[in-house]
Structure 1
Amino acid sequence: VSRDFLPRGSGIVTRRPLVLQLITAKTEYAEFLHCKGRKFTDFDEVRQEIEVETDRITGMNKGISSVPINLRIYSPHVLSLTLIDLPGITKVPVGDQPPDIEQQIRDMIMQFIARENCLILAVTPANTDLANSDALKLAKEVDPQGLRTIGVITKLDLMDEGTDAREVLENKLLPLRRGYIGVVNRSQKDIDGKKDIKAALLAERKFFLSHPAYRHMADRMGTPYLQKVLNQQLTNHIRDTLPAFRSKLQGQLLSIEHEVEVYKNFRPEDPTRKTKALLQMVQQFSVDFEKRIEGSGDQVDTLELSGGAKINRIFHERFPFELVKMEFNEKELRREISYAIKNIHGIRQVLPCLFTPDMAFEAIVKKQIVKLKGPCLKSVDLVMQELINTVKKCTKKLATYPRLCEETERIVAGYIREREEKTKDQVLLLIDIQVSYINTNHEDFIGFANAQQRSSQVNKSAVGNQVIRKGWLTINNIGIMKGGSKEYWFVLTAESLSWYKDDEEKEKKYMLPLDNLKVRDVEKGFMSSKHIFALFNTEQRNVYKDYRFLELACDSQEEVDSWKASLLRAGVYPDKSS
C-alpha cells in the first residue's frame, strides 16, 4: 500500500480481524464498511478509525472480538488483493482478556484459515525457533499438504550476529510447497522517527543486496516481491478452485429457481395450501416414527438406546431378567405342596408316592403362572413409555408450529395409552388361558427325569457352543501385586466364558466353564466409577485360580444388566440371596 495506517505498539495490538481489500484505482482513498459514504484520504485518520472501532467493540483494556473491521483501499499503487490481518496467539491473559484467551484467538484464526479459497501467510520471526511457530502449526492443521501456505520470515535484521535464516529461506529446514519469503519491516524506532514507507522499502532492498547470506536470493525477497507473489498465486489458486465453485453455485441456482417456480403462484391464505402443508407435516411425522421403531432413521443416536432398539432390549433382556428376579421361597413352596397333597387326600391316609397328584400339581403350577402377570405388565409399561418418548422426539420437527406440535403429541400419546389398556387385557387373557388348563399329559410332565434329560439334549443340539456375546470387561478383584485390574476381551458361549488379550482373539488368557456358576451384584466402591457384578461357584469352589469369585466391571449399569441377561441365556442365573 506504501502507506502507514495500521496501529502499532507493544503487546496485542490487533484485537479484531481486519479484512483489508486492496483495489486498483486511479485515485487513492480508503473506505470503512461501518462508515458508508465517507472517504478517508488522510491515512493517519484511517489508523485512528481502526483504533476507535476496535475499542468500541472490545473495550479499552486489551479485550478481543471476532467481529471483523472491513476496510477498502483504492490506489494506483496496489494490486487487487484481499488480506485479513488476524491477532497473534496470546498465551497469558492481561487486562479484560478472558482466561481462555489463547483458545478464543485460536478459534478465531481457524474460522478464517479453514476456508479452501484462501491462501495462508504463516508469519514467523527469524529470531525464534521455526519448529515452535504457532502460525505454521495452525496452518498445517487446516492445510496438511501445504497447498495454500506461504511462509513469511520477519525480523531478519534482528538475528544474533553470526546467524542467519538462509536454510529456512531456501526451503530446506521445514519445506513448504510455496516456499518462504523474507521481509524486513520498520522497527519501533523507525516508526517513532516518522520513517516513511518508501525509505523503509529502499532500506529493505539494501539489506538483502548487502547481506552475504541473502544477496544471491535478493530478487526473491522483500515486501514488493511478496506482494507480486501473493497476487500471482492467489490468481492461480482462484483459477484452480473456480470450476468447483462455479459448479456449486450453479447447483444452488437451479435449486433456488426450482423453489421460485414452486412458490411463484403461492397464496398464503389459500386453504388448500394450508391443508397440503399440514398433511405433509403429519405424513413426515408418521414416517419419522416408523423409522425410529424400525431402526432406519436418518438421525442415529450414539449416546443411548432409543426407539425400536430399546423395545427390543426390553423384550430380549429386561423381561427374561425380571422373570428370574421373581421372589421364590423354596421352603414356602414345599409347605404349599405338602398342604395341597394332604388336602386332596382328605381323610384318607397319605401314602408315600413318587409323583405328585395331578390336582395338587395343577393347583401349585397355577399359582406360579399367576406370578408372571407382574413382569409382563411391567414390560408393557416400559414399552409404552418408550413409544411416548419416541413420539416426543418425532414432534420436535414440528416445533415451528407449537400448537400443531402439542396437539399431535397429545392425540398420538392418547391413542397409545388407549391401546395400552387393551394390550394389558390381552396379556392377562393369555396368562388366564394358561392358568385355566394345565395339560398334564404333555410329554414334559411324563417322568421328570426323562423329560429333563430330553430337554437338556434338545437344548444342547439347538444351542451347541454358539457365541452369545462379545465385549470388553475389566477383571476387578485382582490384587496390585498380581497385576491389578485389567481390561480384557470376553467371549460368552453356551458352555464357557473366555477372555483374550484383545479383540483379535489370538491370545486366550483363560476359559471358564459355566457349570454351577451364578451371578450376583457387587456394591460400587466409593472411589470407583465402574459398575460391578461377580460370578461364583455354588459348590464353594474357586472360580478363577485361587479366587472364590470373579468380579467383572463395566462402565454403566445398563451394560451390567445387558451382560447379566446374556449370562442368563447361557444358563447362569442370578443369586437370590443377593
Structure 2
Amino acid sequence: MESLIPIINKLQDVFNTVGTDIIQLPQIVVVGTQSSGKSSVLESLVGRDFLPRGTGIVTRRPLVLQLVHVAQEDKDALRSSEMGVPADVEEWGKFLHTKNKIFTDFDEICKEIEAETDRLSGANKGICSEAINVKIFSPRVLNLTLVDLPGLTKLPVGDQPADIELQIREMVMQYTCNPNSIILAVTAANTDMATSEAIKLAKQVDPDGRRTLAVITKLDLMDAGTDAMDVLLGKVIPVKLGIIGIVNRSQLDINNKKKIAEAMKDEAGFLQRKYPSLASRNGSLYLSKTLNRLLMHHIRDCLPELKTRVNVMASQFQTLLSSFGEPVDDRGQTLLNIITKFASAYCATIEGTARNIETTELIVTKFASAYCATIEGTARNIETTELIVTKFASAYCATIADTARNIETTELFDYTNSRACHFQPNVAGRKTLSQREARDCKVIERLINSYYLIVRKNIQDSVPKAIMHFMVNNAKDSLQSELVSKLYRSNALEDLLAESEMIGQRRTEAAEMLEALQKASHIISEIRETHMW
C-alpha cells in the first residue's frame, strides 16, 4: 500500500500540467495562521531548511510538496531516470515548472520558491492561487503529498490589497472543501485553542472532524505552570484523527543554523521530561509516520471513486472534443463539402425527403396558413383585397418574366375594371336611383362578388404553382452550382472558414484535459489489488 502515495503524486503532476483542480485528489492540506509554525512543521517532515522565511505573508502561493522516499536499493534506478543527479547526492529537489532541472542545493530550492512566487504574485505581498509544485527526493522522508497554503490573516500589511483576508480564506476553503483532502490544522500552543482560526475553519468544512488532524506547535513556549496535557488528550477540542504536539526551532535556532536533526533530538528530550506518558505519541517523527499512514489509508478509500470519476470525465471530454470537430486542413475541400451538404439538405427539405420531416411539414403548414389567411382575411374588405391582389400581381409579374398573359392576371384586371364601373352608378349626376336601377345594382354586386370569389380561388391555386415552377424548382436545380461560383474563391476561403478564437481555445483545452484524463486512467489502472491492502 506504500506505493499508493507515489501514484497520487503522478496524478498530481498530470493534472497540474493542465492547470485544473476538477479531479479532487487525496492530499494533506496544511492550514494555520501566520506565525503558527506551519513552515517549521513542513521542514521537520523534510528534515531540511528549504522554505522562505520572513515577516508577514511569506507563503503567497499554494505550495504542493511531494516527498518521495528514496530507498537504498532504488537509488541507482531512480538516478538513471533523474538525469543530472550526481552519484554522491542523496537528496535533491525538482520543480514542475523547471522541467528536468535538478536542485541539489536546498538554498537554491528556497530561492526558486521565492522567485516563482514573485513571478505571479508580484513583490507587493499579494497572493496567487496558481500552485508551485516541488518534489523532494530523500532517504530520510516518508512518502507524503502536502499543500502549504498562505497563513490566515486579519489585516493587510504594507501594499497588500484591502481584501487580503477574504482572498486567503477563499483559497484555503477551495482546498479544504475537497472531500478527499486531509486537513492539517496547525495551532500554536501559546494561543487559546478555543479561538484557533485553523480549527474553526476546519470545522466549517469538516464538522465531524473525520478528516482533520490537529498539530499543536511551540509546546515549549507555554507559560510557566501551564501545560498542553488536556489539549493533547483531546479534552479541549475533540478531533477524530488526533492531536499531535511538536516543538519548533526558535528563531534564534534558525538564525544560528541549528540542524533539524539536532532540533528533533531536543524535541524528544523535552517531550520525555514534560509529557512522559505522551512522548511516544507526539513529536515531529511521530507526526510524519501518522501522516504517511493516514494518507495511505485515505487514498485507498478514495481510489475506487477517483477511478470512476476519471473514466466518466474522460468520456465526457471525448464527447465535448468531438462536438468541436476536427481542425480544418484542406479549406477548399472543406468548403465544397459544406456547400454540397447544404444543397442536399435544402433540396431534401423541399422534396419532403428530409430526415426531419416535422420541420418540412411545419414550413409547408405555416406557409399555407399565412397565405390563406392573407387571401381569406381580406375578403370582407373588397377595396383592400383589390389593392393587395393588384400589388401582388404587379410584383409577381415583375418577378416572373413572360407571365403577364396568365389568365389569372387577366381576370384580376378585368375584375378591377368592372368593380370600378360598379362604383360609378350616378354618372349622370342624379342623387338617387330608381327602384329598377337599385335592383340591377344589387344583382350586379352579387355577380361581381361571385366573380371575385372565382378569381380569388384561381389566384390562390395558381400562385403557389407558379412559385414552385419558376422559383423553388429553379433554386433547387441551380443552388449548388450558384453557391460554388459565388463562394469558391481562394481569397474568400480564409474568411469563410475562419474559426472563432473561443472555439479554437476550447478545443485545445478539451484535448489537453482528455490527454490528462487518459494518462490518469492509465496510471490508476496499473494499481494492483495487492497494493490496496
TM-score (norm 2): 0.49
TM-score normalised by length of structure 1? 0.45
**Between structures 1 and 2, the one with greater helix share:** 2
Larger RCO (alpha carbons 8 Å, 6+ apart):
2
Counting strand residues as a fraction of each chain, which structure ranks higher? 1
Bigger Cα Rg:
2
